[in-house]
């Protein structure tokens, strides 16, 4: 079955489904999200779609999903596709299943939304695999925000949640060790 793209072509539902599922798995802070989806589709199906076309189709599907109207069939392993794409040396991307962002979306001082900035690529160790990840940070009102704490002046503050999580403390310690060197 095909869906008209509105630009003189048809998009197979299988492609549309994959676009929608990848969009659901990737974080919205990834600035190249729709171009990355286009690249993944091109790698898998050898068909090129423009990123603005993909964005429009996904937004249309999201509007219908709000009304319970979208039930597409299962697709390829989205996680495997995204991980393989993020490891592909031909693409420079911040796409990852593991997007580690600051613990808050707003500045604790002025209450304005934080503007996230890509910080670094990291490895996420799971029980049976190692996957790519990306960390983001933010800065506002002379305060640096990280996934489990913030730095104001020369003082470092760790959130209560970070104290209960060995994983987050490890990431914090590694980040501070890197910053000190």
Whether the CB-CB separation of 94 and 134 falls below 8 Å is answered with: yes
The whole-angstrom separation of Cα 140 and Cα 103 is 14
pLDDT digits (tens, 9 = 90+) for 135-168: 999 999 999 999 888 999 999 988 877 666 545 4
Record the pTM: 0.63
Structure tokens given for 159: 């959130």
The whole-angstrom separation of Cα 58 and Cα 51 is 11
pLDDT of residue 170: 44
pLDDT digits (tens, 9 = 90+) for 63-102: 766 555 455 555 558 888 888 888 888 888 888 888 889 9
The whole-angstrom separation of Cα 42 and Cα 47 is 5
């Amino acid at each position: 079955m095909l869906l008209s793209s509105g630009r003189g072509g048809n998009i197979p539902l299988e492609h549309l489904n994959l676009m929608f599922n990848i969009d659901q798995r990737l974080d919205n802070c990834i600035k190249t999200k729709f171009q990355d989806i286009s690249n993944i589709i091109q790698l898998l199906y050898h068909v090129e779609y423009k990123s603005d076309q993909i964005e429009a189709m996904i937004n249309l599907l999201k509007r219908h999903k709000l009304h319970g109207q979208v039930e597409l069939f299962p697709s390829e392993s989205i996680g495997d596709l995204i991980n393989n794409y993020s490891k592909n040396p031909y693409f420079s991307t911040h796409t990852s299943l593991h997007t580690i962002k600051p613990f808050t979306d707003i500045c604790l001082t002025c209450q304005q939304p934080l503007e996230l900035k890509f910080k670094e690529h990291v490895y996420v160790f799971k029980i049976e695999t190692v996957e790519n990840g990306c960390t983001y940070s933010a800065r506002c009102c002379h305060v640096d925000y990280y996934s489990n704490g913030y730095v104001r002046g020369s003082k470092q503050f760790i959130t209560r949640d970070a104290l209960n999580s060995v994983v987050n403390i490890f990431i914090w310690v590694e980040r501070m060790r890197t910053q000190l060197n």
